[in-house]
């Protein structure tokens, strides 16, 4: 006898929106919801499975027996099965047992809308709620001032499982991270943290990029409310939170979204579009309206229910191109004969429009590695609508340059100057991310050349150049203190290194660079505008020196930056300047406290009425070895 009562949270309008790909609150209707019907407490279940012959809820409340609690299919051809089960309570584990019309295949699936999941390797969903008393009102009311494109935006990228482990080598919990991580990020001065995917995933070596529980923070570190506490504490400390979001692909684990109801429900049925050869995973069917509703609802869910301040969208390039990682014959052109995935383009525009319509004070950030145009331009002028895009070209060229011995750098100045030819075509974020410290690439420190002193000097120079280059910043955990080895997701960062002078010096340098970035408007007010940057001299390749001006809204805020990419001290180095007055050095990466040699401009420097670098004024400064100096005119 079926013990499921007829009940629905869905209206006809909900179904219309769902079918049209415009239902962006789907998590309020589908999934498992604690509720009360006719005075009886229980759970309302709803799941999309249009190719199912029957759908039963199985769990520890019915000893996982199929058929005892069978849901009812809606009459409106939506493919949604639903019903109310009395007596089921919070904390109950469950799955959907689905018998398909397609040959009678029976699958046992986790709930795509589950709010909480069992700890892997267990795979069941858990009945849960989102009750939590937030204490971040001040942040939420003022975060537009923290997230704006004309504000300092310095991101600390974190993998929660390996940032730090406890004395037994086990994960820190969300609650423990709410103390240790929050205080550390505040100390080092980053404006935001970015978490590599926190949504539930079955396989640790995927780093979280193979998701099965899109609406559930992973149970590895605690309960959903514990993750809310972590976000809340970050906000109370004045730190924004960005989540990695993965709408590009998903794994084919038996309990996941793949072949959900015995058909290609979430994935594209054409293998050329529905399977990712690099990651051996499934690709969403972006042309199916119900799938679009699922994905955009998921984005809105994290922004609304977890107070998230931004979404970094993973692997956008793999979504945009039909021939991505595919050989000739393994892909089919679009209707215009091109390689662009038109369904993806339409989906990404819808996603960004939906996010910014409801949350104009957040940012969406694209990890997009190609020259696809107008990624971070508004949709109404033909762009994809993202707030920012990763500047992968800058990352590649810059790291390539820093791996060259200083004696050869004069032949490769273009590796550094080339970025300015396209720096303002998008709203670029400069990333030194987790992808740059794995798979034999070495750590960021490990890529620097020279002896030990020169390696650390080069690293401080790299960071100084990065923080004074136009664009927002992203740095992967460990890089801020000069982690020596590659990142290992199975262990903790090498925190013991900070006791050594050079590593502590890198941390102090990053802390001061974050303070510099946040203090001086010239470094952020026009970070995406050509008006915010001007070369002084980019052609002194013989000395491997670059000099440039960063500009704010007020001319008096302008900063002068000079980078010396060789270990040679250059005294009496003359640079052209835009006005008279005095130069005061406000940052020098060669400070002794950073582990440098102490070659600084300790006194104010008089600006001469002597033309230089095509300017009417100039001054002589001392350039530290492998160092960057930042000056203010007064």
Q: Which of 226, 232, 314, 512 is catalytic?
A: 314
23 class by beta-carbon count within 10 Å (0-12 exposed, 13-18 middle, 19+ buried): buried
141 assigned to active site: no
Find all residues with CB under 8 Å of 197, minimum gap 6, and list them. Answer: 207, 208, 209, 211, 243, 244, 245, 246, 314
Spatial separation of the C-alpha atoms in residues 359 and 486, rounded to whole Å:
37
Find all residues with CB under 8 Å of 613, minimum gap 6, and list them. Answer: 536, 537, 547, 575, 576
Computed over its alpha carbons, how large is the radius of gyration of the chain?
Answer: 27
314 assigned to active site: yes
Do the Cβ atoms of 390 and 427 come closer than 8 Å? no
Find all residues with CB under 8 Å of 507, minimum gap 6, and list them. Answer: 188, 480, 481, 482, 498
Spatial separation of the C-alpha atoms in residues 634 and 616, rounded to whole Å:
17
Do the Cβ atoms of 339 and 333 come closer than 8 Å? yes
**Residue among 238, 157, 162 nearest 193 (CA):** 157
**Residue among 533, 447, 434 nearest 493 (CA):** 434
Spatial separation of the C-alpha atoms in residues 442 and 192, rounded to whole Å:
25
Find all residues with CB under 8 Å of 432, minimum gap 6, and list them. Answer: 395, 399, 444, 466, 474, 475, 476, 479
Q: Which of 200, 226, 244, 367 is catalytic?
A: 367
253: DSSP letter: -
Find all residues with CB under 8 Å of 455, minimum gap 6, and list them. Answer: 445, 448, 449
Active site members: 314, 367
């Amino acid at each position: 006898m079926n013990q499921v009562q007829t009940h629905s949270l869905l209206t006809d309008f909900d179904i219309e929106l769902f079918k049209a790909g415009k239902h962006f609150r789907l998590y309020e209707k589908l999934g498992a919801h604690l509720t009360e019907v006719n005075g009886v407490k229980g759970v309302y279940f709803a799941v999309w499975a249009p190719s199912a012959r029957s759908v039963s809820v199985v769990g520890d409340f019915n000893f996982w027996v199929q058929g005892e609690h069978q849901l009812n299919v809606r009459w409106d051809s939506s493919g949604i099965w639903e019903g109310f089960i009395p007596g089921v309570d919070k904390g109950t584990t469950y799955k959907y047992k689905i018998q398909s019309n397609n040959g009678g295949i029976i699958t046992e699936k986790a709930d795509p809308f589950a709010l909480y999941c069992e700890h892997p390797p267990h795979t069941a969903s858990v009945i849960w709620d989102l009750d939590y008393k937030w204490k971040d009102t001040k942040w939420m009311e003022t975060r537009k001032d923290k997230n704006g494109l004309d504000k300092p935006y310095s991101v600390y990228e974190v993998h929660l499982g390996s940032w730090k482990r406890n004395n037994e080598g086990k994960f820190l919990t969300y609650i423990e991270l709410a103390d240790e991580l929050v205080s550390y990020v505040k100390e080092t001065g980053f404006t935001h943290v970015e978490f590599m995917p926190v949504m539930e995933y079955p396989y640790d070596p995927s780093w979280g990029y193979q998701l099965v529980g899109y609406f559930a923070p992973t149970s590895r570190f605690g309960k959903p409310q514990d993750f809310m506490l972590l976000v809340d504490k970050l906000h109370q400390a004045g730190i924004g939170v960005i989540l990695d979001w993965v709408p590009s692909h998903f794994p084919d684990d038996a309990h996941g979204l793949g072949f959900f109801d015995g058909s290609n429900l979430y994935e594209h049925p054409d293998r050329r579009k529905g399977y990712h050869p690099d990651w051996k995973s499934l690709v969403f069917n972006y042309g199916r309206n119900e799938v679009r509703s699922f994905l955009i609802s998921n984005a809105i869910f994290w922004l609304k229910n977890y107070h998230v301040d931004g979404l970094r969208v993973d692997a956008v390039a793999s979504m945009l191109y039909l021939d991505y990682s595919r050989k000739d014959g393994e892909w089919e052109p679009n209707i215009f004969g091109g390689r662009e995935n038109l369904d993806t383009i339409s989906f990404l525009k819808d996603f960004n429009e939906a996010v910014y319509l409801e949350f104009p004070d957040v940012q969406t950030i694209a990890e997009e590695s190609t020259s696809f145009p107008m990624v971070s331009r508004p949709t109404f002028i033909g762009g994809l609508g993202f707030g920012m895009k990763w500047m992968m070209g800058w990352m590649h060229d810059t790291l390539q340059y820093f791996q060259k011995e200083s004696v050869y750098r004069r032949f490769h100045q273009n590796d550094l100057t080339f970025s300015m030819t396209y720096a303002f075509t998008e709203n670029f974020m400069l990333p030194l991310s987790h992808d740059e410290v794995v798979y034999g690439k070495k750590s960021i420190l490990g890529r620097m050349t020279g002896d030990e002193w020169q390696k650390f000097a080069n690293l401080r120079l790299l960071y100084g150049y990065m923080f004074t280059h136009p664009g927002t910043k992203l740095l992967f955990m460990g890089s801020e203190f000069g982690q020596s080895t590659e990142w290992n997701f199975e262990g903790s960062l090498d925190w013991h290194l900070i006791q050594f002078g050079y590593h502590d010096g890198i941390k102090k340098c990053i802390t001061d660079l974050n303070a510099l970035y946040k203090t001086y408007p010239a470094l952020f007010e026009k970070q995406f505008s050509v008006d915010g940057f001007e070369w002084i001299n980019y052609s002194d390749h013989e000395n491997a020196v670059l000099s440039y001006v960063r500009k704010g809204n007020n001319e008096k805020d302008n900063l002068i930056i000079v980078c010396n990419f060789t270990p040679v001290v250059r005294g009496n180095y003359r640079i052209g300047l835009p006005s008279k007055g005095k130069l005061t050095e406000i940052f020098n990466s060669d400070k002794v406290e950073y582990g440098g040699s102490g070659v600084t401009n300790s006194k104010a420097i008089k600006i001469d009425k002597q033309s230089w670098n095509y300017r009417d004024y100039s001054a002589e400064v001392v350039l530290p070895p492998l160092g960057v100096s930042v000056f203010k005119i007064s």
